[in-house]
Amino acid sequence: MTSDGSAERLPPALRTEALEQLLTERGLVDPDAMDRLITQYETNVGPLNGAKVVARAWTDPAYRRRLLDDGTAAIAELGFGGPQGEYVVVVENTATTHNVVVCTLCSCYPWPVLGLPPSWYKDPAYRARMVREPRTVLSEMGLELPGDVEIIVRDSTSEVRWLVLPERPAGTEGLTEEQLVPLVTRDAMVGVARVEAP
């Protein structure tokens, strides 16, 4: 608490730590279980997994074909799957077509390859406006697309979750799969950004 009794002014990390301590003291949370859950999302689930999928598709044409034909199976080849990833469809961005993902009903999202959804993805304004005015919303998020690029909005549901295979940036032809992984961002795999060359 701050001197005026307001916890809201404390940094989020301190508030989170205080809440965890309180829940642990009351026996409502097992610290070991909490650590395992955090480790799971830090190391086994998240955008790094999706980046590995994208980098493999960029460097292995046969894998790319399998990924576009059956995203769930190709993603499972790399060991990624599970809840929220039971059926993933992968679509490819090109010089003339740009895919972007939204969930208009809630926030369905392929957790095994993208981790937890960001707050903006769950925001009602993003969910409503991306469908009506995708070019404007993308521009507001920093992605300017030429007028002749077709934008396709993909609506995730509890049955189908979408993953965007971003365009490989020019100038990365000599990079290995391992060198490409750090270039791929969560936002590029949702379709609200492009992958930039190093």
Q: Which residues are catalytic?
A: 103, 106-108
Residue 158 annotated as binding site: no
- The reply to whether 106 sits in an annotated binding site is yes
- Is 8 exposed, middle or buried (CB count within 10 Å of its CB: 0-12, 13-18, 19+)? exposed
167 neighbors 141 (Cβ within 8 angstroms): no
Residue 139, marked binder: no
Enter the tokens of residue 185: 């961002």
Q: Is there a binding annotation on residue 3?
A: no
The two counts, helices (H) then strands (E), for the chain are: 11, 4
Instruction: Give one word for 166, left, alpha or beta, with left for phi > 0 and alpha for psi -120 to 50.
Output: beta
Q: Which residues are annotated as a binding site?
A: 103, 106-108
Q: Which residues are annotated as a binding site for Fe(3+)?
A: 103, 106-108
